């Protein structure tokens, strides 16, 4: 089944618009101007609908191409605050040593259960040979408890070492600023579902 059937614009135009929006964190109106400069007249609300419709599917299909399976460098995990509909939520993130996102998880709470769900989600989405030898976190005790529980359940290999050394997590701490700039350009999130 063709997901682009019945659309007024060509598939390539839709995919480029969705890709630019997701990658560069520009607003829908700025993207409308960029496309108009290239001779494509499309309304910003149409671009919004394209992003809502095609971004999750693009992420699902391209997730494995964005990763480099031969590069098993340590993962750096941390959480940061983001506003969702005027309330604070916690965005758990994991990046590799080069700053590429491994996975993320949005939670209304910051506790061991949320860390367990986040780590479980990552381990479910990667193959056994893609799991690194080291996982670096800050001194938050929730990660240690979650990793220990996942090892007991057999979902995480027992040779994965958890390192809680603050300076090793500078990669992801610096990356939070870049993420907040992107979120700020989009005027934040309106609900937990669309965040």
Report the topology of domain 75-185. Nucleotidyltransferase; domain 5 (3.30.420)
Residue 191 has pLDDT above 70, yes or no: no
Q: What pLDDT digit, counting tens, does each position of 50-105 carry?
A: 999 998 888 877 766 665 554 568 888 988 888 888 888 888 998 887 778 888 89
Supply the pLDDT for residue 70. Answer: 45
Q: Are strands 75-84 and 87-95 parallel, antiparallel or unpaired?
A: antiparallel
pTM of the model: 0.59
Q: What pLDDT digit, counting tens, does each position of 150-171 carry?
A: 999 998 888 889 998 877 777 7
């Amino acid at each position: 089944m063709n997901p682009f059937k019945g659309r007024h614009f060509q598939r390539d135009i839709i995919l480029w618009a969705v890709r630019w929006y997701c990658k560069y964190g520009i607003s829908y109106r700025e993207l409308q101007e960029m496309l108009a400069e290239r001779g494509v007249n499309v309304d910003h609300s149409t671009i919004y609908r394209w992003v809502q419709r095609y971004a999750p599917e693009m992420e699902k299909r391209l997730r494995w191409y964005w990763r480099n399976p031969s590069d098993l460098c340590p993962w750096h995990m941390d959480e940061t605050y983001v506003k969702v509909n005027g309330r604070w939520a916690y965005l758990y993130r994991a990046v590799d040593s080069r700053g590429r996102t491994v996975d993320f998880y949005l939670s209304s709470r910051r506790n061991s259960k949320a860390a367990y769900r986040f780590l479980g989600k990552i381990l479910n989405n990667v193959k056994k040979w893609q799991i690194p030898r080291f996982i670096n976190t800050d001194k938050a005790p929730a990660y240690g408890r979650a990793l220990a529980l996942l090892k007991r359940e057999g979902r995480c290999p027992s040779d994965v070492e958890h390192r809680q050394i603050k300076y090793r997590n500078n990669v992801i701490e610096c990356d939070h600023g870049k993420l907040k700039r992107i979120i700020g350009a989009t005027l934040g999130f309106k609900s937990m579902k669309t965040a």
